[in-house]
Structure 1
Amino acid sequence: MKKLFFPFLFLALIFGCNKKTSETSDATSTTGNANLDTILKNYYEERLKLFPLEATAVADNRYNDQLPIDISVAHRAKAKALYNNYLAQLNQLDTASLKVQEKLSYAIFKRDMQMALEGLTFPEHLMPVNQFWGLPLTMAQLGSGASNQPFKTVKDYDNFLGRMTGFQTWGDTAVANMRRGLAAGYVLPKALTQKVLPQLKALLTNDPSKSIFFDPIKNIPKDIPAAEKDRLTKAYTQAIKEKVVPTYKKLHDFMEQEYLPKSRPTSGISAIPNGDKYYNYLVRYWTTTDKTPDEIFNTGQQEVKRIRAEMEKVKEQVGFKGDLPAFFKFVQNDARFKPYKTDQEVLNAYLNIEKRMQPQLKQLFGRVPKSKFEVRQTEAFREASASAEYNPPAPDGSRPGVFYVPVLNPKDYNRTEMESLFLHEAIPGHHYQISLQYENEDLPKFRRFGWYGANGEGWALYTEGLGKELGLYTDPYQYFGRLSGEMHRAIRLVVDAGMHSKNWTREQAIQFSKENEASDEQGIIAEIERYMAIPGQALSYKTGELKIRELRNRYQQQLGSKFKLSNFHDEILRDGVMPLAVLETKMNAWAANQK
């Protein structure tokens, strides 16, 4: 998955195009309607002031010292006023004069404002911490110097001192909110609270120089004057000792002593007040559809059945004697699938995949991004609970796109899903999609740096299915790994909807996963607990992939010899991610033009 730091935008100039028609040319103009253009620009600027971490993520450094308390009642009121103001302005527009691209922006923006306002009717701020994402984890990533907070100049270093001060206030607010949540029944499941505690504890230290927040001082640029280096070293030592570590300790002790005993025994979000309504909202938010939990659940069961049949074929192809669960265990545990001895060997194997498919990429894509790309090992402080993920590049080229790989023990690292994982997280999945979107300066900024999981994760899962066309999956076990990845996303539809709308327990969800996928128990538990922490998010992958695959099949049938796969891919990526209904409308217009 692509790493998110915030709900509506990304964390952190298209070229090689085919000749555009006049229709397409018009579609890349955002200035035809001055009123709409002004609304979108003004909104984006106001939003960055309200959510400055979003600015940092896209290398807009104007607010790098600020950390507003986004879980406070006052901040939520400001956000509500912002959304209401711009929705009202949008509703006054004359839509008849909008050009093609402006109609897309209008539809996307209107949905954004409506969904954001609806989201604020639910007290999400009363559960501000979980083991999967949230500011306690984000702060450590930013403070490490290895993420998107820059540490190049004296001003950069002074900026983050401001954020460390803000984090102290955020921590106090989080504890107060969680106490309110306890009183209202808006509380995490006990299994998740238990996973948060070691994460917080890992960031406690009596020696500031051993804190991850001290890493920027250890790596301070040589051109910073000695006097400033000494000042900053003292300032960081003091901030870590007096603000950062005490905040993590306060969060840890509160969650251990007060929160854990009162954490709920249930797994699904429907157990909290108004939980059913909240989950229905989250399904719509993450899938960008009007699908119901029941529809999602049933689709998942159908996909699980279909993919199991494909898995059986691979099992027969390799001559394995035994049933599918036995084959799962064989693929998980046999030494031939764990050939690595060092962390670097794992990273090198991923780079090798990129080299092998490079010759075929130009057959499937007319556009490729300029942004640089790297494979890195996940940082040690979060590696134990992290999934493989992609962090976007800086739009100005100052930071590459990064595929983060957690390697707890290289000797246990299973190679069977590496090809499909690289396709999804790196190339041509998230790296192509997000980089091209960031590089497209013709898009209004709310779209250029926007994120819609169903389109974004759906694309990444769709690209896993391109492996054979890219010269991969020649090893049947790697193809089985691809099926395993697809099965994993199909299972998500069943267990996410099961836990959050059908009262499935954590244990039921774990058991369903164990019966249908080749993954170790520890990995399955981490995934199920992820779905418990962020209900609905995991639905986006399969929902989006099925829609993109449906569109491809439809246009291949409609267009026959006029269908060119690289053109289809380029058009999917041309205008950035968007809600699936908007994407389908756009693609139908593209297909009509191809005729």
Structure 2
Amino acid sequence: MYRNLWFLAVVIILGSCKESSKKEQVNLERPIAEVFAEFYEFKKGINPIEATKAGYYEYNDTIANYISDDYILHLKDRYTYFLEELGKYDSTQINAEDYMSLRVMQWDCNVKLEGVMNPMVTVASPIYDLPSFELMPLFQIQSLHLYVAQLAGGTSVQPFKSIEDYNNWLSRLEDYLIFLDTSIAKMKVGMDKGIVLPKVLTLKMLPQVRSFIDVPLEDNLFFKPVLNFPDGISDVDMDILKSNYEDFIQEKLTPKYVELNDFLTNEYLSKCRASSGLLDLPNGKETYKYLIKLHTTTNMSADEIHELGLSEVDRISKEMEAVKNEIGFTGDLKSFFNSLRNKKELMPFSKPEEVIENFNAINDRIAVRIDSLFNLTPKAGFNVRRTEAFREASASAEYVPGSKDGSRAGIFYVPIPDVKAYNMVHDEALFLHEAIPGHHFQLSLQQENNSLPEFLHPESMGVFVEGWALYAESLGKELGIYTDPYQYFGMLSMEMHRAIRLVVDTGIHAKGWSKEKAIQYSLDNEAESEESIIAEIERYMATPGQALSYKMGQLKIRQLRTKAEKALGDNFNIRDFHSQILNSGSLPLVLLEEKIDNWIAQLEM
């Protein structure tokens, strides 16, 4: 789960012939590929869990303490260094592909450096590269304590295939304990400075922490790996590992969770704020302005994005009205939402396995049409899997990429907390978003593209990644689905959901909206259940700005497609257009637009 100085001017060094000659000599001594490789080693070092996720297993025994003072100083030093290195090159010295990669790296370093200079923001989260708040390091969603628990069960990206793997995980957990110690210390500083979580988010986090305290050892998620040993480990080694895991859980991990729970319950909770957004925090307005840049790669203001969201909500509402009328529902749109939330025909499942089977059937249906839209398709496979029980209640559907070497397939996680209440109205659109041709296509192709420097292989920029996935939802009719008007309405509902995010995220963090006002706005304009909407609003409260990326990216890709269709007429080829979008990795939107404009111009010649 998981990302700004948009319209960043390209740094071109201009100077005398003597200076140019000197720069060229420097570059000849150091090819740009070496800078890219050094940058990726740096990125893996500051995000070791992401390195594991990408299949670089030399980092499997560590977790970065990304809220420590030393870590933040290290970021400032290295981002500054890399910007100085990139300043030694220009477009006359390297090929066009490398120059595009250089500009992506330059943008990334600039925006991240701006982030770590902000006294309230740290942007190098080791999970999804989402912003974290140094003094608010733990929250109820997309937080390190949740991701570590996800790794602990032995069925995620952390490998458990050898004795070394088992020992690496214990070493990684030792670092995790240090992170939790630092978190408590930072949160205490936050209490003194008035930089604390909304109380409602802390209340949601408490059951997550307690779930690892009052649980029998054999049921503890962190003990699962030693209950499921792979072949090739001797009985003696199994006994040793089992004993080591038992000692670690009982003597170190559980006491740390007890300490964290006591701190949150007895000290932190009473200091938490009643407000929902950033405006009440020191530097809150400036921080949100930065987060908009980080997540949208634009210089748009919160007010501009809010108005754009209102406009999109209005447009999509009109499309929804048309589908409602086609179905024959005579009430207003809000009444139709309520009918969908409770429509038994849309809740047909009695077993979680049936939900998974339905997604696999959608995959089979679009497989026969996928080549009509795409030249590029990934080699990697993927699986649809139910979200783990410990995080299922507050989780959204998500895609986790497979390993770079193909040894681990991608995983499309689906939360099914109550199968009889599971509503399938969004399933076709959800599959297009998370799997094919959404995240699975885009992220797998990015990993498999050997012409890109390795630092562009991981997930990278959310506005591109999520923008592509939301755009992918719109391809359903071209792929032979959305034949059921309810499923097409489900697609509109998901697009509406992302349009609403533009309104409520800016409302909460820039306009002083309460949680209740944001919830009511969502209830009035979409078909999601109230429970789901509450979880979503609380997500926006915890991760300001991130939810803006989906719609902003989708609108840009759709705009570029329309521009290409109009400019090229009969020469427009949708397969080639999609290849142009997908063959350069995750790009800031300004660079993506420049690339597509150049492609159009070449075809017009």
Q: TM-score range by the shorter chain?
A: over 0.9
Q: Which amino acid aligns with 1:109?
A: M
1:36 maps to which residue?
32
Q: Single out whichever of 382-391 and 52-61 deviates more from structure 2.
A: 52-61
- For 2:445, the equivalent position in structure 1 comes to 436
In the other structure, the counterpart of 1:63 is 59
Map of 1:278 onto structure 2: 287
| Structure 1 residue 153 corresponds to structure 2 residue 162 | yes
Alignment length (residue pairs): 569
Q: How does 1:92-241 map to 2 (within 5 A)?
A: 92-120=88-116, 121-123=118-120, 124-205=133-214, 207-241=216-250
Q: Which residue of 2 aligns with 1:348?
A: 357
1:494 aligns with 2:491: no
SS at match of 2:92: helix
SS of residue in 2 equivalent to 1:385: coil
User: Aligned equivalents of 1:586 and 1:255: distance in 2?
Assistant: 49
Match of 2:396 in 1: 387
Q: Equivalents in 2 of 1:48, 1:308: separation in Å?
A: 44
Secondary structure of 1:340's aligned partner: coil
Deviation at 1:33, TM superposition (A): 9.8
* Matched AA of 1:91: G
TM-score by length of 1: 0.94
Please tell me whether the aligned partners of residues 293 and 501 of structure 1 are also in contact (alpha carbons under 8 angstroms): yes
Report how far residue 45 of structure 1 moved: 1.2
Distance, in Å, in 1 between the alignment partners of 2:510 and 2:325 is 37
Per the TM alignment, residue 576 of structure 1 is displaced from its structure 2 partner at its CA by: 1.1
CA distance in 1 between counterparts of 2:197 and 2:242 reads: 38
Deviation at 1:98, TM superposition (A): 2.7
What's the counterpart of residue 427 of structure 2? 418
> Where do 5+ consecutive residues of structure 2 fail to align?
5-26, 121-132
The answer to whether the 8 Å contact 2:399/2:412 transfers is yes
Counterpart CA distance in 2 for 1:32 and 1:284 is 35
CA–CA distance in structure 2, aligned partners of residues 90 and 54 of structure 1: 24
User: Which amino acid in 1 is paired with 2:224?
Assistant: D
The aligned amino acid for 2:225 is: P
Secondary structure of 1:126's aligned partner: coil
Q: CA deviation at 1:86?
A: 0.8
Cα deviation 1:289-308 (Å, max 9, x = unaligned): 11111111010000000011
2:134 match: secondary structure: helix
CA distance in 2 between counterparts of 1:47 and 1:338 reads 44
2:521 partner SS: helix
Greater mean deviation of Cα atoms: 73-82 or 41-50? 41-50
Contact (CA 8 Å) 1:206, 1:241: kept in 2 or not? no
How far off is 1:585 after superposition? 0.8
- In 2, the alpha carbon distance for the partners of 1:156 and 1:251 equals 27
Answer yes or no: is 1:85 the counterpart of 2:94: no
Q: Which amino acid in the other structure matches residue 70 of structure 2?
A: A
1:392-417, CA deviations, whole angstroms, 9 ceiling, x for partnerless residues? 11010111111000011111111111
In structure 2, the partner of 1:482 is 491
Quote how far apart the aligned CAs of 1:47 are. 2.8
The equivalent of 2:456 in structure 1 is 447
2:40 partner letter: Y
Pairwise CA RMSD: 1.4
Deviation at 1:450, TM superposition (A): 4.4
The alpha-carbon deviation at position 566 of structure 1 amounts to: 0.9
Give the C-alpha shift of residue 50 in structure 1: 3.1
Q: TM-score, normalised by structure 2?
A: 0.92
Aligned residue number for residue 49 of structure 2:
53
Query: How far does the alpha carbon of each residue in 1:246-269 deviate from its partner, in whole angstroms, 9 at most, with x for none?
Result: 222222221111111111111111
1:61 and 1:515 mapped to 2: Cα distance?
Answer: 47
Distance in 1 between residues matched to 2:488 and 2:535, nearest whole Å: 24
Q: What is the percentage of aligned positions where both structures have the same residue?
A: 46
2:78 is paired with a residue whose SS is: helix
Q: Deviations over 1:53-78 (max 9, x none)?
A: 12111110112111232211111111
CA distance in 2, matches of 1:317, 1:207: 54
2:71 corresponds to: 75
Deviates more, 1:84-93 or 1:360-369: 84-93
- CA distance 1:465–1:94, change in 2 (3 Å): closer
Stretch moving more, 99-108 or 270-279: 99-108
Stretch moving more, 443-452 or 571-580: 443-452
The yes-or-no answer on 1:311 pairing with 2:320 is yes
Displacement of 1:355 in angstroms is: 0.6
Partner of residue 28, structure 1: none
Mapped to 2, the partners of 1:399 and 1:584 lie a distance apart of 33
SS at match of 1:271: coil
Structure 2: distance between partners of 1:174 and 1:591: 50
Check whether the contact 2:43–2:455 (CA below 8 A) recurs between aligned residues.
Answer: no
Q: What is the CA distance between 1:34 and its match in structure 2?
A: 4.8
Deviations 1:374-407 (A, max 9, x none): 0000001110110000001101011111100001
Cα offset for 1:222? 2.5
Q: Is the partner of 1:70 in helix, strand or coil?
A: coil
Q: Report how far residue 537 of structure 1 moved.
A: 0.4
Q: Any idea what the Cα deviations from partners look like across 1:501-534, whole Å, max 9, x if unmatched?
A: 0111111100100100001110000000000000
1-side partners of 2:140 and 2:410: how far apart? 24
Superposition deviation, residue 331 in structure 1: 0.9
Cα distance in 2 for residues equivalent to 1:122 and 1:483: 40
Q: State the 4+ residue runs in structure 1 displaced beyond 6 angstroms.
A: none
* CA–CA separation in structure 2 for the residues paired with 1:251 and 1:137: 14
Alpha-carbon distance in structure 2 between the residues aligned to 1:225 and 1:410: 40
Give yes or no for contact 2:400–2:410 (8 Å, CA) kept in 1. yes
Say if 2:52 and 2:59, in contact at 8 Å, map to a contact too. yes
1:470 aligns with 2:479: yes
Q: Tell me if the contact between 1:337 and 1:414 (Cα under 8 Å) persists in the aligned partners.
A: yes
The match for 2:582 is 573
- Partner Cα distance (1:122, 1:471) in 2: 50
Give the match's secondary structure for 1:203.
coil
Contact preservation (8 Å) 1:164, 1:239? no
SS at match of 2:518: helix
SS in 2 for 1:416: helix
Q: CA separation in 1, counterparts of 2:29 and 2:507? A: 46
Pairing of 1:296-307 with structure 2 (within 5 A): 296-307=305-316
Task: Report the alpha carbon displacement of residue 32 of structure 1 after superposing the two structures with TM.
Answer: 9.9
1:564 maps to amino acid: N
